[in-house]
């Protein structure tokens, strides 16, 4: 008889352990690391991005579907914007793998962050209600890890870490009476949103045949009458199945059935005779990893509900925001042929997400972000989309770093007003946006006299110090009592071919950092998409409103000297660390934009 010895464990120690490398986990890990916390990011797949990765290829969606004009600039900023702006510039070919690479590079670039791919959390060691360590397995190297941390963040989507730790969670759909929700069903059940498999295809310029496998499903036009399928370059979100099963335990069964459904849909397009224009089209990729929408939802210190979204309740501990519709899918998915696949009523305003919904109800040092946050099924139907999840992740990671610096345990930190406020202020400094919260740092630029070479009536130079870095007072923007009308940016006159802007102080001031917040076209959606129709709504590449080339100069009394000369810029926010004393003038000279016929600047912040 052979006895197999216990596996050797490699012990790792860190401050923050983030499980799950989707958009929420990536943003959480980067935010924690940039704010000084030692972090480990564990991801069970070979690539980052979750549903946005090359393995699944779903569009990153969020609140930007609301914005059509400058009055409602709802697109997410902060870390997720940084990633998507870089993807738009470096990925003109719209390669799914290029987004994988950008996410990988972003994590590898952070010295405080250790990235562990192909590594799955498989257990937790507990001391009462506190996680002492987690166990993680990496089959690719036959390694088994024990990871000790002070804080743990579950961004796995399925909630694997929290489940192993015994965190309270829920599944399925609440009854309407439980939270007073008008969109909910009358009775509670275990049904969920289903999963999907996507595909991409190409026009090959010659007839291309498709022979389906014998097990592919068969569909008629009548089966698909509520499901649009007249474009073929990118698959359909409504190829959905599994909502009436356990999306964790039945995941392999769901994958098998989704393959049969997806290939059956393609068989219908190619071979039914209803779509003759598809003759030259052929599949060039299709997924084998289901894009999962819903599984476990943790119960936090607060459960976000429908009325919080509809009324846009202002939370003192707001940590992120959302704006996607309450996008409730039929749990039967493709099987519900006689009904529309979803109902998606918009909320009236952008709404806030509180920190309390990211803090475990019963595990002392557990946080979570993404689709497993604390929310009802109805509220989750809006918060689940990836750009919103990324905002939660950035909020979580920033809070984790601030809380660790404070030395207070999470059980005290999440309710500590000073820690929450510092987290919010740091998020704003980083370029994130929180409805109803303004940056309170003193801006020395506000003490200066501001002059410009030209200005438009709705874009006066003085607006660069009004404290607002976007305009969200328009339709589907923020609640009216939180709205501040105006463009909140300097806009030079289009006839001004060499625009500049200057700040003059009466007395000399010291300066350590200059922050420029530029216009990044936040009223438009921006995400990697393989849908040509969706792509046409975007400005892919550097955003035309953003300054491409500019110079910063300071005058210490002997004329202007150059601080920085920036070329080929596509970022919305830029920080310049300087050591300037005894100067009285700061000048911004615009050389070129990325396409717009005039210069735009939201804010110049001087500290």
Mean pLDDT of the chain: 96
User: What's residue 6's pLDDT?
Assistant: 60
The answer to whether residues 533 and 553 touch, using CB atoms and an 8 Å cutoff, is no
The answer to whether residues 291 and 329 touch, using CB atoms and an 8 Å cutoff, is no
Q: Count of CB atoms within 10 A of residue 1's CB?
A: 2
Quote the CA–CA distance of 101 and 53 in Å, as a whole number. 10
- Of 341, 203, 318, 218, give the one whose Cα is nearest residue 268: 218
Cβ-based burial of 322 (10 A; exposed 0-12, middle 13-18, buried ≥19): buried
User: What's residue 451's pLDDT?
Assistant: 98
pLDDT at position 4 over 80: no
Q: Which helix (H) or strand (E) holds 241?
A: strand 240-241
Percent of the chain whose predicted confidence (pLDDT) is above 90: 95
Query: Which residues, other chains included, contact 258 with Cβ-Cβ below 8 Å and sequence gap of 6+?
Result: 195, 196, 197, 239, 241, 242, 290
Angle of helix 79-90 relative to helix 23-34, nearest 10 degrees, comes to 110
State pLDDT tens for residues 24-50: 999 999 999 999 999 999 999 999 999
pLDDT at position 276 over 80: yes
DSSP letter string, 35-88: TT--EEEE-SSSSSBGGGSTTT------GGGG-SSTTB-----THHHHHHHHHH
pLDDT at position 478 over 90: yes
User: What's residue 69's pLDDT?
Assistant: 87
Quote the CA–CA distance of 473 and 484 in Å, as a whole number. 6
Q: Provide the Cα torsion 202, 203, 208, 212; round to 10°.
A: 30
CATH superfamily assigned to domain 10-174+294-430: FAD/NAD(P)-binding domain (3.50.50.60)
User: What's residue 3's pLDDT?
Assistant: 47
The DSSP code for 345 is P
User: What's residue 5's pLDDT?
Assistant: 53
Residue 273 or 557, more confident: 273
- In degrees and rounded to multiples of 5, residue 9 shows phi and psi of -110, 135
State pLDDT tens for residues 430-447: 999 999 999 999 999 999
Token pair, residue 598, equals 């005039």
- Give Cα 232 distance to the centre of its chain: 27
* Across 140-158, average pLDDT: 98
* Across 539-547, average pLDDT: 98
State pLDDT tens for residues 212-236: 999 999 999 999 999 999 999 999 9
State pLDDT tens for residues 44-94: 999 999 999 999 999 999 999 888 888 999 999 999 999 999 999 999 999
Q: Which helix (H) or strand (E) holds 28?
A: helix 23-34
* Across 380-402, average pLDDT: 98
- The CATH number of 444-606 is 2.60.120.260
Query: Which residues, other chains included, contact 99 with Cβ-Cβ below 8 Å and sequence gap of 6+?
Result: 49, 52, 53, 54, 87, 91, 528
pLDDT at position 22 over 90: yes
Residue extents of the structural domains in the chain: 10-174+294-430, 195-292, 444-606
User: What's residue 1's pLDDT?
Assistant: 46
Sign of CA dihedral 411, 393, 369, 395: positive
State pLDDT tens for residues 167-215: 999 999 999 999 999 999 999 999 999 999 999 999 999 999 999 999 9
Q: Which helix (H) or strand (E) holds 254?
A: helix 251-271
Read off the pTM. Answer: 0.97
Q: Confirm whether 10-174+294-430 and 444-606 share one CATH topology.
A: no
Strands 143-148 and 10-13, bridge-based pairing: parallel
Residue 64 or 321, more confident: 321
What is the Cα gyration radius of the chain? 25
């Amino acid at each position: 008889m052979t006895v197999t010895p216990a596996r050797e464990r490699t012990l790792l120690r860190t401050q923050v352990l983030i499980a799950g490398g989707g958009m929420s986990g990536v943003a959480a890990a980067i935010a924690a690391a940039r704010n000084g916390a030692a972090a480990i990011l564990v991801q069970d797949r070979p690539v980052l991005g979750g549903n946005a990765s090359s393995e699944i290829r779903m569009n990153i969606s969020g609140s930007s579907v609301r914005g059509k004009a400058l009055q409602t600039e709802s697109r997410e900023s902060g870390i997720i914007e940084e990633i998507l702006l870089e993807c738009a510039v470096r990925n003109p070919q719209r390669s799914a793998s290029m987004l994988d690479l950008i996410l990988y590079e972003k994590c590898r670039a952070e010295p405080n962050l250790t990235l562990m791919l192909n590594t799955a959390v498989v257990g937790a060691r507990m001391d009462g209600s506190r996680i002492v360590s987690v166990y993680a397995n990496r089959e690719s190297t036959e390694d088994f890890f024990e990871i000790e941390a002070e804080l743990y963040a579950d961004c796995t989507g399925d909630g694997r870490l929290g489940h192993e730790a015994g965190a309270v969670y829920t599944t399925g759909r609440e009854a309407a009476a439980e939270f007073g929700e008008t969109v909910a069903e009358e009775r509670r059940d275990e049904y969920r949103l289903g999963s999907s498999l996507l595909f991409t295809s190409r026009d090959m310029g010659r007839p291309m045949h498709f022979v389906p496998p014998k097990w592919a499903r068969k569909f008629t036009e009548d089966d698909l009458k509520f499901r649009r399928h007249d474009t073929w370059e990118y698959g359909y979100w409504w190829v959905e199945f599994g909502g009436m099963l356990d999306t964790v335990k039945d995941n392999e069964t769901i994958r098998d059935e989704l393959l049969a459904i997806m290939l059956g849909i393609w068989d219908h397009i190619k071979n039914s005779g209803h779509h003759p224009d598809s003759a030259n089209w052929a599949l060039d990729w299709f997924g084998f990893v289901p894009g999962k929408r819903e599984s476990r939802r943790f119960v936090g210190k607060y459960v976000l509900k429908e009325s919080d979204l509809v009324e846009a309740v202002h939370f003192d501990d707001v940590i992120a925001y959302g704006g996607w519709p309450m996008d409730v899918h039929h749990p039967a998915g493709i099987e519900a042929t006689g009904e529309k696949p979803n109902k998606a009523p918009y909320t009236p305003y952008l709404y806030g997400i509180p920190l309390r919904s990211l803090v475990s109800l019963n595990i002392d040092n557990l946080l979570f972000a993404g689709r497993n946050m604390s929310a009802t099924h109805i509220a989750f139907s809006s918060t689940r989309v990836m750009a919103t999840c990324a905002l939660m992740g950035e909020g979580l990671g920033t809070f984790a770093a601030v809380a660790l610096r404070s030395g207070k345990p999470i059980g005290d930190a999440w309710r500590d007003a000073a820690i929450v406020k510092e987290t919010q202020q740091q998020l704003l400094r980083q370029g994130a946006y929180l409805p109803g919260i303004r940056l309170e740092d003193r801006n020395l630029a506000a003490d200066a006299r501001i002059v410009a070479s030209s200005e438009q009536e709705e874009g006066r130079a003085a607006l660069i110090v009004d404290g607002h870095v976007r305009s969200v007072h328009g339709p589907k923007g923020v609640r009216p009592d939180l709205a501040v009308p105006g463009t909140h940016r300097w806009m030079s006159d289009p006839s001004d071919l060499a625009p500049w802007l200057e700040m003059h102080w009466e007395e000399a001031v010291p300066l350590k950092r200059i922050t420029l917040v530029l216009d990044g076209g936040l009223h438009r959606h921006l995400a990697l998409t393989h849908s040509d129709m969706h792509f046409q709504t975007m400005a892919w590449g550097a955003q035309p409103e953003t300054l491409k080339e500019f110079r910063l100069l300071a005058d210490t009394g002997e004329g202007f000297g150059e601080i920085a000369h920036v070329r080929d810029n596509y970022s919305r926010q830029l920080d310049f660390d300087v050591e300037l004393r005894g100067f009285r003038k700061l000048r911004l000279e615009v050389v070129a934009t990325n396409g717009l016929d005039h210069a735009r600047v939201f804010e110049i912040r001087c500290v």
